[in-house]
C-alpha cells in the first residue's frame, strides 16, 4: 500500500494555489479529464486560483467532465444554498466548461433511488473518475458519507448528521428552537458513496485549519473505521493531501 503524499503549505492562500496548480496540470495533461468536485468553504480559494490560471494561461476546460460529490435533496439549482448555485458562482461561469459535461445530482428528482442510480451510471458512462478532489468534514465525512456503523458504497440519498447540519447552516440552527420547521431544511443530500470515491484513479484531498487536524491524523494513521469515513482513503493507492500548516501540524 502506497502512503499518501502529504503537501503542507504555509497558509490557506498557498494551499489553494497548490491544489489549483495540480488540477490545472491534470487538465493540461489529459484534456478530457473526468473530475469529481467538492463544495464547502475549503475549496473556494482553489476555484478562484483555477479561474485565475484559466484567464492568465488559457487552460482549456472544453473537454473536461465534472461530477460533483453531492447535492442537497429537495432543492433546485436556483436555490442559492444548492451546490449547483455554488458551482456556477465559483467555477462554471468562469471557465469554458461545456454545460452538458457538468453534472450534479438532481435535488428535485422524484425518485431518489432512480436518481442515485442514474448518477452512478453517468459516472460509469463517462469512463469513471480520473481525479476526485475532496474536502473533509470535522467528523471525517467525505461528500456526505457521515460516520456511522456502516457506509454505503454507491451514490445514495444520505441524512446529514446533526453536527454537519449545524456547521453548514448556522443561521438555521440558531432559529431551530423557535421554529422547529427549519430543522427539516437541507437535512438530506445525494452523495457519491465511499465506493464511488475510492474507484477514482487519483484522489486529492484539501484541508485547512486546526479544526481538521485531529480527524486527519486519525484518518491517516489510525485504524480504518466507518466511524471516520476518511480513514478508508488508506485503502487507495494514489492519494495526495494538500494541507495548510494548521491542518497538517502533527
Catalytic residues: 70, 139, 141, 146
Which lies closer to ligand GLP via its Cβ, residue 59 or residue 116? 116
- Measured CA to CA in angstroms, residue 5 lies from 50, 202, 235 at distances of 21, 11, 14
- From 1-9, 29-37, 134-142, 171-179, span contacting ligand GLP (CB under 6 A): 134-142
Q: Which three cell numbers stand for residue 18?
A: 497548490
Q: H helices within 58-187, ranges in order?
A: 83-87, 112-125, 162-168, 170-175
Pick from 144, 169, 186, 190 the residue near ligand GLP by CB under 6 A.
144
Pick from 38, 147, 193, 248 the residue near ligand GLP by CB under 6 A.
38
Q: Residue 36's beta-bridge partner residues?
A: 67, 132
Nearest-angstrom CA–CA distance, 176 and 93: 34
Pick from 15, 17, 19, 39 the residue near ligand GLP by CB under 6 A.
39
- From 20-28, 38-46, 52-60, 178-186, span contacting ligand GLP (CB under 6 A): 38-46
Q: Please give the span between the terminal C-alpha atoms of the chain, in angstroms, as a whole number.
A: 22
CA 84 to chain centroid, in Å, comes to 13
Which lies closer to ligand GLP via its Cβ, residue 139 or residue 234? 139
Kindly state whether residue 4 participates in binding ligand GLP, applying the rule CB under 6 A: no
Which of the 8 DSSP states describes residue 233? G
Pick from 7, 14, 26, 40 the residue near ligand GLP by CB under 6 A.
40
Which of the 8 DSSP states describes residue 46? H
Residues binding ligand GLP: number (CB under 6 A): 14
Which spans of this chain sit near ligand GLP (rule: CB under 6 A)?
38-42, 69-70, 135-137, 143-144, 164, 168
Amino acid at each position: 500500500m502506497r502512503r499518501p503524499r502529504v503537501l503542507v503549505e504555509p497558509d490557506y492562500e498557498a494551499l489553494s494555489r497548490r491544489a489549483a496548480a495540480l488540477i490545472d496540470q491534470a487538465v493540461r495533461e489529459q484534456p478530457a479529464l473526468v473530475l469529481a468536485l467538492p463544495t464547502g468553504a475549503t475549496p473556494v480559494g482553489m476555484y478562484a486560483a483555477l479561474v485565475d490560471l484559466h484567464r492568465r494561461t488559457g487552460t482549456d476546460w472544453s473537454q473536461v467532465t465534472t461530477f460533483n460529490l453531492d447535492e442537497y435533496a429537495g432543492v433546485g439549482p436556483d436555490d442559492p444554498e444548492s451546490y449547483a448555485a455554488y458551482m456556477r458562482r465559483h467555477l462554471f461561469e468562469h471557465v469554458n466548461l461545456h454545460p452538458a459535461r457538468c453534472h450534479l445530482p438532481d435535488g428535485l428528482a422524484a425518485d431518489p433511488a432512480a436518481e442515485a442510480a442514474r448518477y452512478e451510471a453517468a459516472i460509469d458512462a463517462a469512463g469513471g473518475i480520473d481525479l476526485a478532489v475532496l474536502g473533509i468534514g470535522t467528523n471525517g465525512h467525505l461528500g456526505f458519507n457521515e460516520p456511522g456503523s456502516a457506509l454505503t458504497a454507491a451514490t445514495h440519498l444520505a441524512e446529514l448528521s446533526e453536527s454537519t447540519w449545524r456547521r453548514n447552516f448556522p443561521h438555521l440552527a440558531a432559529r431551530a428552537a423557535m421554529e422547529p420547521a427549519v430543522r427539516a431544511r437541507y437535512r438530506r443530500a445525494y452523495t457519491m458513496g465511499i465506493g464511488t470515491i475510492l474507484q477514482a484513479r487519483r484522489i486529492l484531498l484539501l484541508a485547512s485549519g486546526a479544526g481538521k487536524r485531529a480527524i486527519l491524523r486519525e484518518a491517516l494513521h489510525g485504524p480504518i473505521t466507518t466511524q471516520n469515513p476518511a480513514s478508508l482513503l488508506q485503502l487507495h493507492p494514489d492519494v495526495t493531501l494538500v494541507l495548510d500548516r494548521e491542518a497538517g501540524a502533527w
